[in-house]
Amino acid sequence: MLRRLRSLFIAIPLTGALAGAALSAPAQADPAADAAVGVGVSVRAAASYWTTERMLNAKPVPVPKLDAATDAKLSQQAVPQGRAGKVDGAAGSMRQQGPIKALADPGASAATWSSTSSPPGATSGKVFFVGADGGNYVCSGSTVNSGGKNLVFTAGHCVSNGSGTWYNSAPWTFVPGYNNGNAPYGRWTARQLWTRPAWHNGANRAEDIGAAVMSTNAGGTRIVDYVGGQGIEWNYPLSQYQFQFGYPSRTPFNGQILKYCTGQSYSDGGHNGINCNMTEGASGGPWLDDFDGTFGWLDSVNSWVFWNSSGVRYKWNGPYFGNNARDFYNAIANL
């Protein structure tokens, strides 16, 4: 089934028909009309496909490659494009949502986030999907609060290959609080995947933003009501003190536990940069501004990583959240 949407974004539902995008407050501008297509498909139950063995053997999705033309455009986009705005996070029902008392500050050397009993350990998680080549892949992601209470944000390259192909051939699954193969809050399956058209059709790294609208669990509970959701912000200064999270899988990490770095984001040739030695597998993990040990505001996501001549990963870039992130969020917030 195909339906056309009036939206700035492209979406694909994993089950059922695709509803029209609804704008939610706070919005400072209506997005211009554009066409997007969605395809309803049938999928197997997540638990039947994503066995423990498949989850453990899934590989980190390749990060986007450098494109000189996009690189030049990025230098003009990593600045506020309008009025700053934000949506606050929300606590879930499953665990006490208090801040962690001793908040370590590891800098660029990734440390282990030891708690899964409250955000961000409960709101961050691992993403599992089948790539365009049929392989099993992983990314990272985070729940984000919204009117629909069912959003998981990640990188665009964790939902689409940037050449018009969606990762929907098997259940796109998010495991909040993933820890050494354990799923303390269950496995949640997406019913829609979303990204920006410039990523889906052209692999534009400035638009490497993705999100999934999750189905409810077996009890009919929405994921943000269950585990909580981080806030989100747009059009804030490029330089912010960030807590950066993800599940790095490439050596020296194994992808089995949540890691994090801290530091001041900066203009990296116009890109949103942060120093951190997390490796591939961390793609899509959240950058949280004004983080208090439990909640913050999503300011970017892990998009592409840099390494030196010895292969050591040392910094990440992410898309700047300007009007693009504002309009993207507002289009999917109530789905």
pLDDT digits (tens, 9 = 90+) for 283-318: 999 999 999 999 999 999 999 898 888 889 999 999
- Is the preceding peptide bond at 13 cis, omega within 30 degrees of 0? no
Confidence of residue 99 (pLDDT cuts 50, 70, 90): low
Bridge partners of residue 112, in order along the sequence: 259
Does position 332 have pLDDT exceeding 60, yes or no?
yes
End-to-end CA distance of the chain: 18
Determine the pLDDT at residue 20: 31
Averaged pLDDT of the chain: 82
Determine the pLDDT at residue 69: 65
Note the pTM of the prediction, 2 decimals.
0.87
Bridge partners of residue 245, in order along the sequence: 260
How many other β-carbons are positioned within 10 Å of the β-carbon of residue 106? 17
Determine the pLDDT at residue 103: 67
Confidence of residue 67 (pLDDT cuts 50, 70, 90): low
pLDDT tens sequence across 136-190: 999 999 999 999 999 999 999 999 999 899 998 878 999 999 999 999 999 999 9
Q: Mean pLDDT over residues 267-286, rounded?
A: 90
Determine the pLDDT at residue 286: 98
The whole-angstrom separation of Cα 155 and Cα 272 is: 14
